[in-house]
Amino acid sequence: VDPVGAGDAFAAGYLAELVEGATVAARLATAAAAGAFAVTVPGDWEGLPRRDELRLLRRDDAVAR
């Protein structure tokens, strides 16, 4: 919908996991999910997810196509 804020969301997700002591893989997974959420709505911060919402885009979930 709107790419504004995607990079900032990515950085925020990465840094949030860094301060928690997460692995690089976990940091990147959270960063990618935060960036993905950010582009779902118009604006720069309106799409930022809460931590509990990040589980909605887990990599290990089955995808039905």
Residues tagged active-site = 8
Contact 46, 8 (CB under 8 A): no
Burial group, residue 5, by CB count within 10 angstroms (0-12, 13-18, 19+): buried
